[in-house]
Amino acid sequence: MAAASPAAADRSAAAAVRGAGEMPTQMTPEDLDRIAQAVAEAEKTTAGEIFCVLAPEVSDYRETPLVWAAATALVLPAAALFAGFRPEMLTRLFGGWSVGHAAAMDGAILSALSTYIALQAVVFVLAALIVSIPSVRRALTPGALKAARVKKAAMEQFLSRGLHVTRDRTGVLIFAALAEHRVEVIADEGIYAAAANTVWDDVVADLVEGMKRDAIADGFVAAVRRAGAILAEHVPPRPDNRDELANGLTILPKR
């Protein structure tokens, strides 16, 4: 990332999670305790700070139904015209009168245009309703948009939770977005100066592996332990080491 960014190292990956539906966000007290203990144990060996966040979904992607509805309303009626459909067919279907003389042609054209516009409106509404179904909306949202929203949400958590103001700038955020099936790991500049950016790929891989197995807690524990080992090697503990951030998993509210 650019030097001006509060976080210097940013690694991400998509998790091909089993099943097309929503992943469960329910975590048992035992799961939460395991993650908190893993963070506490990891931080005993380093001056770094590890913070874990789980997001059911980072955005409602409300623009997705609108974009698909607009595109469908523009393309589908036009394609129907090229295929031989004529707006007056609908007029006749519902009992309209056909035009038999030239003086009434203006009225026929107006009627055809009105029918075409009404057809576009119906297609728009139907497409918007269909794409608003959560599973359909997620499937039709571009991957690049999901990745950008997850990265933005992770950075917002990094800043709002104070990882960028730790004593030695050694905060590490481990962030998972369930609906988007994506993982972000962000390390602050104090760690980036000591460890190569690529060392965080294994942390990402550990959490992704847990998500693939629907074992989210296991994934977080493995990722925390891996991050702790990296931090212990590159950012050893200070004599006056203190815990600056909460150790537990933060679960964001569902959008």
Q: How far apart are CA 160 and CA 22, in angstroms?
A: 27
CATH 3.10.310.50 residue spans of the chain? 7-61+142-251
Tell me the mean pLDDT in the region 21-42.
Answer: 83
Say if residue 124's pLDDT is above 90. yes
Q: Which residue has the higher pLDDT, 109 or 74?
A: 74
Listed ranges 6-10, 25-29, 76-80, 220-224; the one with the highest mean pLDDT: 220-224
Query: Does pLDDT of 148 surpass 90?
Result: yes
Q: What mean pLDDT is predicted for residues 210-216? A: 92
Q: Which residues pair with 12 in a beta bridge?
A: 184
Is the pLDDT assigned to residue 233 strictly greater than 80?
yes
Query: Counting beta carbons within 10 angstroms of the beta carbon of residue 15, is it exposed (0 to 12), middle (13 to 18) or buried (19 or more)?
Result: buried
Lowest mean pLDDT among 39-43, 119-123, 148-152: 119-123
Q: What is the token pair recorded at 64?
A: 């997705």
Can you point out the beta strands (E) in the chain?
7-14, 49-55, 171-177, 182-188, 249-251
Average pLDDT, the chain: 83
- Out of 57-61, 76-80, 117-121, pick the least confident: 76-80
CATH class held by domain 7-61+142-251: alpha beta
Residue 191, C-beta contacts closer than 8 angstroms, at least 6 positions apart: 8, 9, 48, 169, 170, 171, 172, 231, 234, 235
Higher pLDDT, 147 or 239: 147
Cα–Cα distance between 171 and 228 in angstroms, integer? 11
Distance CA 172, CA 188 (A): 6
Query: Contact at 8 Å (CB) between 230 and 198?
Result: no
Is the pLDDT at 203 greater than 50? The verdict is yes
